[in-house]
A = this chain, B = another copy of it.
């Protein structure tokens, strides 16, 4: 399997964790999202929509980090990224999507660039935007997870799931951009548990082949 990744992409980070948790070896090909040349070449040769992350194997090119995790789960169910039980699975997916739909898209590189270049906001205003949505979203996720009665060492019980794959990269970015995250003790405790697992450590942006 091939993984098209960018070390700093939050969505690629999710997929790297999921692959590691599953124990699936993937040959990583870096596509630098900030330098001018790699993305046009990737669009020409691999994915016309330029979607990162993507994986490629016998089923072709698969995009969208949450769709990739669902695919990995169906292709190799063990160890699972989703718990047993319909209610439990819905809870994990909802937590994952709280990050993937409600937080990350607003803090994306292309959005921050648009605020700066097209709307003329200075870096301070862009940073304020970033912190607003990330802190707002993490606050809702904290309440959702803490109030669920379903969390344990991880978002669901004592095994990592799709939701932890989404949470950890979002917290990594929140720290990088100096968001106030002290108010989210449940999420921080889960993050600390994840940091103890090799699957999460080896997916960290700082240890990727294309890390700067």
Complex contacts, A193 vs chain B, CB 8 Å: none
A141 nearest CB neighbor, chain B only = B49
Q: Within A48-100, which residues are at the interface with B (CB < 8 Å)?
A: 48-49, 51, 59-60, 62-64, 66-68, 70-71, 74-75, 86-87, 89-91, 93-94, 96-98, 100
Residue in chain B with minimal CB distance to A50: B140
Whether A184 sits at the interface, judged by CB under 8 Å, is: no
Cβ-based interface call for A125 (8 A): yes
Say whether A104 faces chain B, with CB atoms less than 8 Å apart: yes
Residues of chain B lying within 8 A (CB to CB) of residue A60? 87
State the copy count for this chain.
Answer: 2
Of residues 95 through 152 on chain A, the ones whose CB sits less than 8 Å from some CB of chain B are: 96-98, 100-102, 104-106, 111, 114, 118-119, 121, 125, 129, 132, 140, 143-144, 147
B residues in contact with A86, CB < 8 Å: 59, 71, 74-75
Residues of A whose CB lies within 8 Å of any CB of B are 48-49, 51, 59-60, 62-64, 66-68, 70-71, 74-75, 86-87, 89-91, 93-94, 96-98, 100-102, 104-106, 111, 114, 118-119, 121, 125, 129, 132, 140, 143-144, 147
Provide 29 A-B residue pairs closer than 8 Å at the C-beta atoms, listed in order of the A residue. Answer: A48-B143, A48-B144, A49-B140, A49-B143, A59-B90, A60-B87, A62-B87, A62-B90, A62-B94, A63-B94, A63-B144, A64-B94, A64-B97, A64-B101, A66-B101, A67-B90, A67-B93, A68-B90, A70-B93, A71-B93, A74-B86, A74-B89, A101-B105, A102-B105, A105-B105, A105-B106, A106-B111, A118-B132, A119-B129
